[in-house]
Every structure is written in C-alpha cells, then in structure tokens.
Amino acid sequence: MKKNMWYTFVCILLIITCCSLTQAATVIVPDTEKESGKTIKIPITIENADNIGGMNITISYENTVLNAQSVEKGTLTTDALLEYDLDTEGVIKIIWVSTEGIDGDGSLAVISFDVIGNADDTSNIDVTSIEAADVDTLIDIIIPVQNGIFTVTKKSDTPFPTEITFIALALSLIIVTLRRKK
C-alpha cells in the first residue's frame, strides 16, 4: 500500500513539474521611441502562443503624444481575419480570428502612429483588456501582458543621409566642372 502511495505521489509530482515548466503565452508591447513629426510602427507581439484561435484586445495610449493611424496584420495573423476600431481617441480595439489558430512567437498586429508630442514626452501603451480562446475548444485562455512606453526623442542635429548624399553629389559636380574649365 505504501509503495502504491509513493508511486502515486511521484507521478503527481512529475505532472505538476511538467505543467509548471510549460510557459504561458505573453502579449508584449515593446518600449519604443521616435522624434516628433515622424511615423512609427509598433508591433503587438506574443511569445509562446499555443493554439490560440482569436483575440479581442483593447489598447490605451496618450493621444497628445501619439495619433493612431492604422492597424496591420502581424506575422502570426497573416491568414486571420483582423478588424480594428480607432474611433475613440486614445483607444485602439483590435479583434482577430483564425480557423487554424496560431502557435509560437511573433507579432499579432502592427499599429501605425503619427508622433505628435514634444521631445521627452512619453506615453504608456497599455493593453487594458485582452480576451483569447483556444481554436479547438473555444475555452478562454488567460494571457499575461507586458505593457510598453513610447518616448518622443529630440530631433537630430546631424543631417539625414539623403542630405549628406546630396551635398557629396553637389561637391563632386562642382569639382568636375572646375577641372573641365582648366
């Protein structure tokens, strides 16, 4: 009897250990930065996705720093149906559904923002709600979130590469012209 209890205990311990080693899916919004007047694409990513058939995601941001323009499918949702709503300032609603489900690591969606804030302004980009379901069982999946922060950077004092190229081309043209006159 004690031997059976010992085997049962060891089996339960192994099952608990194996289950705890499996990592849960996590949705991540990366920390990003860009200067004012530019457009930035920020991916909403997931790690360790396992058989997820769809999600309903609500994201909030500071609308005096960023202005959401559009949402594109991510690397994991290319075959999914994706819809979004930008009607409420400072809030993005994204819903996607896949009949095949998604697995692994990658982006769920990519949000395009115009940067409208001033240098050093910041905006939390927070997933305020998320609902997900297993593609086969339709059982709800609890997914933790890692939110991100966007920072408006100072404009660079160095010329852009196109300006440097133009200046180099203009100088080359002047040198060639002066040499031909000799």
Q: What residue has token string 């290319």? A: 78
d(CA 159, CA 163): 6
d(CA 28, CA 37): 25
Q: What is the mean pLDDT of each run of 10 residues along the chain (182 residues)?
A: 56 45 84 97 98 98 98 97 98 97 97 97 98 96 97 78 71 76 66
To 10 degrees, the CA torsion angle through 52, 56, 62, 68?
Answer: 90
Closest CA to 104 of 146, 47, 143, 24: 47
d(CA 172, CA 26): 54
pLDDT at 41: 98
The tokens for 181 are 């006159």
* Class in CATH terms, 24-181: mainly beta
Amino acid letter for position 155: K
Domain boundaries, the chain: 24-181
d(CA 85, CA 56): 11
pLDDT at 13: 43
Q: How many CB atoms lie within 10 A of CB 4?
A: 8
pLDDT at 175: 79
**Number of residues assigned to the chain:** 182
d(CA 130, CA 61): 15
pTM of the model: 0.75
pLDDT at 122: 97
